[in-house]
Amino acid sequence: MSTPKKHVVLFPFTSKGHIAGFLSLASRLHRILPHATITLVSTPRNVAALRAAAAAPFLDFHALRFDPAEHGLPPGGESQDEIFPPLLIPLYEAFETLQPAFDDFVASTAAAAARVVVISDVFVAWTVEVARRHGSQVPKYMLYQYGLPAAGAANDGSGGRADRRFLDRQLAHGNNTDAVLVNAVAEPEPAGLAMLRRTLRVLPVWPIGPLSRDRRDAATEATDDTVLRWMDTQPPGSVLYISFGTNSMIRPEHMLELAAALESSGRCFLWKIKPPEGDVAGLNGGATTPSSYNRWLAEGFEERVRILAHPSTAAFLSHCGWSSVLESMAHGVPVIGWLLTAEQFHNVMMLEGLGVCVEVARGNTDETVVERRRVAEVVKMVMGKTAKADDMRRRVQEVRTMMVDAWKEEGGSSFEASQAFLEAMKLK
């Protein structure tokens, strides 16, 4: 007698960080449930890109029809990574129109499988309503991938804003889910987990992190070996990696201050440039002229995992988005924090509490103050032979060990949470 077919449906929001977490989750589920069907749902352009990258040979894909032009989005505007910030809310709202197509897919999947489980991103929490229409055969779980207090955030009083209204709708949907999976590890952040559990009250919360890319994942991606070959020529622990993420950008005047600080620090760096709005011509002349290509990454080049994993990397100057935080900790790299928005403020507080981060600037407005002397001092302190640097390196290795131990089959907190999750799904 054949085993009843089990099918897990994954629905991430469309940005590299969100999708990476779901791909990591898919890999973990496949190792535990090798005979289950796992399907990632997205729009045609994103599905085509994942198939071309051979993201995971065991993973199935399903594309939901989506025409960006019907929602006032530019051609190819199916991902948060491919549009300008003013169009983010139209993109979020456009994804809400995918509900009928997703309903049809779940219906056909449920008709062919004895057990279907839907795990979706908090930004597409409306999928809860689809699962609910198909009864107890389709339990529904949310995967939350950000700093923990933000996961249960209540209305902050700015309900008139379009982004606040959108988030409120998703939180309302999410309250009807069967449980919440959190891309976090219990040991480094017990206070955040406790706060989330108090906020969600009756909903189970399972921390199953870290769900992030590792070197094996990144090795399958397109790469510019010129940069990585250059890193091979640098001494161990000598390069500062700088990236403000896929979607964030800093102002031209802040870029100039940072460039001047890097020059005065005398430390080698790799900076992933994402040009902001406005004139950044100053980066191409004067004291900030790069001595060679080796120090500057083109806008389209992003090998964050492979750079963080490289032995020449000493520290990561980051906006402290949650994906960046997890990948930096997973590779034992201390952080210099330049937080910009959202949960990044909490993330930096958590990292500083762990002793693995120094904040150097915050914000991205006209009022934001970036002091080149302060930036240079922090860079030299974190990368140098100082007591602070030694302590940060020791502590980040301790956090890295926590993250590895969390998935040990005997006593690992994330492994045990995943087993509870699988039992609740009735997949084990």
For 142: left if phi > 0, alpha if psi spans -120 to 50, otherwise beta; the answer is beta
CATH architecture label of 224-403? 3-Layer(aba) Sandwich (3.40)
Strands ordered across the beta sheet of 335-339: 296-297, 268-272, 239-243, 313-318, 335-339, 357-362
Specify the CATH number for 6-209+407-425; select among 3.40.190.10, 3.40.50.2000, 3.10.20.590, 3.40.50.880: 3.40.50.2000
Shared fold status for 6-209+407-425 and 224-403: yes
Full pLDDT tens readout for the chain, 428 residues: 344 588 999 999 988 888 888 999 999 899 888 989 999 999 999 999 898 886 678 999 999 999 999 999 999 899 887 887 778 889 989 999 999 999 999 999 999 888 899 999 988 999 999 998 988 778 888 887 765 554 444 333 333 477 778 888 888 888 888 888 999 899 988 888 888 888 877 788 899 999 876 655 444 444 557 788 888 989 999 999 998 877 677 888 888 889 899 988 989 898 887 655 444 555 544 333 333 333 554 444 457 888 999 999 999 999 998 888 999 999 999 999 998 877 788 889 889 999 999 999 988 777 788 888 999 999 999 999 999 999 999 999 999 999 999 999 888 999 999 999 888 887 76
Q: If 0-12 CB within 10 Å is exposed, 13-18 middle and 19+ buried, where does residue 161 land? A: exposed
Spans of all domains in the chain: 6-209+407-425, 224-403
